[in-house]
Structure 1
Amino acid sequence: MKTKTIGLAMIILGIVMLLYTSFNYVTTENVVDIGPLQINKEVNHPVKWSPIIGIILAVGGVVLIVASNKREA
């Protein structure tokens, strides 16, 4: 039962990684801090991955589910 859950999670994660191949997060950096004067800069940090990773995860999830079904039968 646990391998089916892991397999299903891998399939869902693989599909999401195929649909969204990157995301950004923003941090705020302090550029100037002179007494009451503060100048901040927002910096984008893109995180990208290959769609092949999503395919590998989805296929691995299917293999886990099929293997657990054969083991139960």
Structure 2
Amino acid sequence: MNISRIAAIVLIVGGVLALLYGGFSYTKDTTAVKLGPIELSVKEKQTVNIPIWAGVAAIVAGGLLIVLGKKG
């Protein structure tokens, strides 16, 4: 397996996952108050939405890599 085929598979799988889930979330620690030795931290949940066009574009790009890789 060459690099372009691996990249194509990663793009296709990533595109399909983007279409299925539509985004992902993560937790970010932030310092709310720091008063001398006392520190108060807050956990914030951030959500990142992945547009539908990005998932479709990743699938198309992966498909093109596979097709063009076979010709070359």
Is the TM value for this pair above 0.5? yes
CA distance in 1, matches of 2:4, 2:38: 57
**Normalising by structure 2, what TM-score?**
0.75
Equivalent residue, structure 2, for 1:29: 30
- Which range moved further: 7-16 or 37-46? 37-46
Equivalent residue, structure 1, for 2:5: 4
Q: CA deviation at 1:33?
A: 4.7
CA distance in 1, matches of 2:55, 2:13: 9
CA distance in 1, matches of 2:63, 2:34: 54
Q: CA deviation at 1:53?
A: 0.3
Equivalent residue, structure 2, for 1:65: 66
Identity between Structure 1 and Structure 2 (%):
25
RMSD: 1.9
CA distance in 2, matches of 1:33, 1:41: 12
Equivalent residue, structure 2, for 1:42: 43
Equivalent residue, structure 2, for 1:20: 21
Higher Cα radius of gyration: 1
Aligned length: 71
Q: CA deviation at 1:5?
A: 1.6
Task: Please list every run of 5 or more consecutive structure 1 residues that lacks an aligned counterpart in the other structure.
Answer: none
